[in-house]
Structure 1
């Protein structure tokens, strides 16, 4: 009996919830009913069970790389393609999605009273020995991040990364210099840490800062106690604890404590907790820095193509006995201190001693008149400057005119005849002297000591003037000393090479003293501050 035309077997069209390319197939003809994800999973699990495998055995053998003999596992083409696509993240479902489901699955939840809770984020038990999925994953992440932090720290403290400075003779190529200690030290360390330890910096910021607050949809930035400096110093201290050669920032802190006259107990405590090197290491570093600075100062003073000037003053330091005993007493240490400053924009020819002698010999001073001196003054510039000075006084002292102070200051710069270019002066501190300034013989010995530090000795000195300034007492004693030594033929021993000058702040103070009396005088009919312009 004819049962009709033969029926073609319809292709089963399937589509899983993950919507991946490998899980869909085109169907020809009529479309058969679609199987659900649960039906597909049951079919696959039934096949796994039929092979006497557990689900764990299936996953392990899918991704294993070594066989029982230690050799590489040979995969079929289909097996290798599927594993490669999954691990490379080329599908719509990647490893992170699987891990997320493992952490969310209630079946992996560990009861609160279970002993397995001690395995969470464990740092001692290898993650390969932990059974529960949540404990294994958290321990894996903890131990992996720990290894990463260790690798970053080891990379940061390498000799080539700039955190090493030597205070001894072991690494002369990394000898500490003044140019690495200063305002750029902390930014330099921050840059090295940010480059070599990004994961460490991220975790430290997570500890140091809470989640930023929002106000009207705007994230509020932290203005007080910023975490940036705290994170940098904390990581630097940890790197210094790892190796005492990564000591750039800790040594800077030690020098700060030393310069601030911090108690030795405080420095020992910070050295103990690895915030800074020991007191002896800081002292060795300063001795080395002092020797370098002394050599630089002497070289600049000896150079005939460079110029500089000196500032000296008396100094006192009271040594007070905190524990009074027999034979101990409070002492006032009196001495002299000085600075040597470079003058790069000055022509050294103006300090030539021979040229000055020749000009004095010509004695043109006898022909100078007051009219000639007045013609040397730019009267227009003097008038403008005087007017601006009066306006500056008004804008400083009258609250209603303070808004114009910026404009007055701008006009000072715009109308100046000679504009001094902005720049930072290079200052070299000189070693202090224990000589007393008020005793002329000791003052002479102190001056010889300062001159020797700038490379000027009786056997070798440059025959040119050295401007030297100070307060009124220093200026007067220098002139008095030159008068006493004027009959000495040698320019050095007679101090003819010195050009005494009254220091500018002292000159300004002496000029403003009578003006200050005029400002505060009750007899003045002008408001306070307005009389400053009429001081002369």
Structure 2
């Protein structure tokens, strides 16, 4: 049987040691000192043969060789096999990478809690320190990157998922014999002053919603928002007939959804409009538009476009003053005096528009006049009250469409008469007759 070509580590190490040829380096002479001549035939003087000074260490220099010899080492029994040495063997061992131990979630939690205990910190200290961005010296780059990735939702778990676990955890239950239940959804107590999680997080939600609703209402009642109908002389957005019509209600609803989306959604939820069922009686959208208009009118006395329309409707149907006063008290419409001023203001606008329309030479129309009698009988007899009859005249103007204005021009007719232009009209009374019955010339 032939010998195996395997070479173990000890043989390689021994060959490396043999391959080196140690040489003695010459002793160094201090600078400025001349070396004495030593005659080896002369015995030393009174000195002993052996020197009392300690001998210097002999340095061995590695011989220069071009051969690639692996470095000298003394392997430990626990070290992994060297891939260089194993490459010379017949059965090479592949290089191994150091592997880290896998820890379970419980073990990692224990390690983190132990680290906090070693730092003399509680969990609240750690969460506050890593979340605080108002430190005087500023945060480090690594700290800022970690918090930015977490708060922007780029991690494995989002912040709201963690908060949801906190709220639903049995550890955050409200303790008995405490007033923490009264602090749930609190508007009066600042959320920062509430220590338990559930009352604090619910109070935070309602207080932030309250701020948002106030911000939306403040934006909705601005003069340029579209809800103003002022009667002031120097008012920026006066009441106009063009703003009052059949499409006004829908336009106000679209404006509310654009400027006050949160308020509209909450009112729709209260009215039960979260489902897709369209109601035939008291539609949710109509009720929400009316309620939100009343709230905006209560906040700003000039944001009264829809309440003014309701007041004009009551005024046109001769509603009692007491009924108008009641609705004014509840914020559904302005006062009676304001409605009366609005009627006079809109009447002046209508008369000016009608007068300008009637004076327009391009408009063709017909006016119909009729006499009017109105008898007023006093039901309650008082001093100075008498029965009387109002006699007058009323006129109605009808505008004609698709009429050529030049046909009614007197100047155009005079020019045609001067030119002696004649228009010939031919009548054909019976079918099949070749000659016309009548020929009419119109000059």
CA distance in structure 2 between the partners assigned to 1:208 and 1:88 by the alignment: 35
Matched with 1:308 is: 365
Q: Deviations over 1:6-60 (max 9, x none)?
A: 256xxxxxxxxxxxxxxxxxx955563x322222112112211222222111111
Paired residues, number: 334
Alpha-carbon distance in 2 for matches of 1:28, 1:335 = 112
Structure 2 length as normaliser, TM-score? 0.67
Equivalent position to 2:321, from 253, 257, 264:
264
Structure 1 residues 311 and 125: CA distance shift in structure 2, 3 A: farther
Contact 2:185 2:203 in 1 (8 A): yes
Q: Deviations over 1:367-399 (max 9, x none)?
A: x9xx96978xxxxxxxxxxxxxxxxxxxxxxxx
Aligned to 2:296: 239
- For residues 66-92 of structure 1, the C-alpha deviation after alignment (integer angstroms, 9 at most, x for no partner) is 24xxx3x52222211111101111112
Call closer, same or farther: CA 1:278–1:88 in 2, change over 3 Å: same
The runs of 5 or more residues in structure 1 that have no matched partner are 9-26, 213-218, 358-367, 376-536
Distance 2:279 2:391 in 1: 48
Structure 2 match to 1:401: none
* Cα distance in 2 between the residues matched to 1:308 and 1:90: 72
Say whether 1:43 aligns with 2:100: no
Contact 2:133 2:139 (C-alpha < 8 Å) held by counterparts? no
1:201 aligns with 2:264: yes
Q: 1:299 to 1:29 in 2, by over 3 A?
A: same
- CA separation in 1, counterparts of 2:385 and 2:429? 63
Quote the offset at 1:174 in angstroms: 1.9
Cα distance in 2 for residues equivalent to 1:317 and 1:52: 97
Deviation at 1:321, TM superposition (A): 5.7
Q: Distance in 2 between matches of 1:39 and 1:147?
A: 44
Alignment CA distance shift 1:59-1:323 (3 Å): farther
- CA–CA distance in structure 1, aligned partners of residues 198 and 377 of structure 2: 66
Partner of 1:64: 132
Which of structures 1 and 2 has the bigger CA Rg?
2
The match for 2:187 among 114, 123, 126 is 123
Structure 1's 77 and 353: CA in aligned 2 closer, same or farther, altered over 3 A? closer
After TM superposition, the structure 1 stretch with the greater mean CA deviation from structure 2, 144-153 or 266-275, is 266-275
- Could you tell me whether the CA contact under 8 Å between 2:273 and 2:284 is conserved in 1? no
Report the Cα distance in structure 1 between the residues aligned to 2:149 and 2:381, rounded to whole angstroms.
Answer: 83
Matched, 1:76 2:140: yes
Q: Which residue of 2 aligns with 1:6?
A: 78
Deviation at residue 312 of structure 1 after TM alignment: 4.0
Q: Deviations over 1:219-278 (max 9, x none)?
A: 643333211111111111111111112111111111111111111111111111221121
Q: RMSD across aligned C-alpha pairs, in angstroms?
A: 3.2
CA contact (8 A) 1:168 1:284 kept: no
3-state SS, counterpart of residue 302 of structure 2: coil
User: Structure 2: how far apart are the matches of 1:325 and 1:152?
Assistant: 55
Bigger relative contact order, structure 1 or 2 (CA pairs below 8 A, ≥6 apart): 1
> Are residues 1:90 and 2:150 paired?
no
Q: Give 3-state SS (helix, strand or coil) of 1:174's partner.
A: coil
Q: Deviations over 1:463-487 (max 9, x none)?
A: xxxxxxxxxxxxxxxxxxxxxxxxx
Q: Using the alignment, how far apart are the partners of 1:7 and 1:127 within structure 2?
A: 60
Q: State how far apart, in whole Å, the 2-side matches of 1:116 and 1:234 are.
A: 34
| TM-score (ref. length: structure 1) | 0.56
**Using the alignment, how far apart are the partners of 1:28 and 1:313 within structure 2?**
110
Q: Which residue of 2 aligns with 1:155?
A: 219
Q: For residues 428 and 360 of structure 2, what CA distance do their matches in structure 1 show?
A: 35
2:237 and 2:139 map into 1 onto residues whose CA distance is 54
Query: Who is 2:338 aligned against?
Result: 281
- Correspondence for 1:108 among 152, 169, 172: 172
Q: Which residue of 1 aligns with 2:5?
A: none
Which whole-Å CA distance do the structure 1 matches of 2:118 and 2:387 have between them? 98
For the residues of structure 2 that align with 1:317 and 1:90, how far apart are their CA atoms? Answer: 80
Quote the residue 2:41 is aligned against. Answer: none
Answer yes or no: is 1:53 the counterpart of 2:121. Answer: yes
What is the alpha-carbon distance in structure 1 between the residues aligned to residue 292 and residue 377 of structure 2?
A: 39
- Give the superposition deviation at 1:114: 3.0
Which of the numbers 330, 354, 358 marks the counterpart of 1:297?
354
Which has the larger share of helix? Answer: 1
What's the CA shift for 1:336?
4.3
> Does the 8 A contact of 1:316 with 1:335 survive in 2?
yes
Matches within 5 A, 1:353-432: none
Distance (Å, rounded) in 2 between the aligned partners of 1:336 and 1:49 = 99
Corresponding residue for residue 254 of structure 2: 191
| Contact 1:315 1:336 survives alignment (8 Å) | yes
**Equivalent runs, 1:428-507 vs 2, <5 Å:** none
Deviation, 1:137, is 0.4
Q: CA deviation at 1:335?
A: 4.8
Structure 2: how far apart are the matches of 1:330 and 1:5? 132
Counterparts in 2 of 1:143 and 1:332: CA distance versus 1, 3 Å:
farther
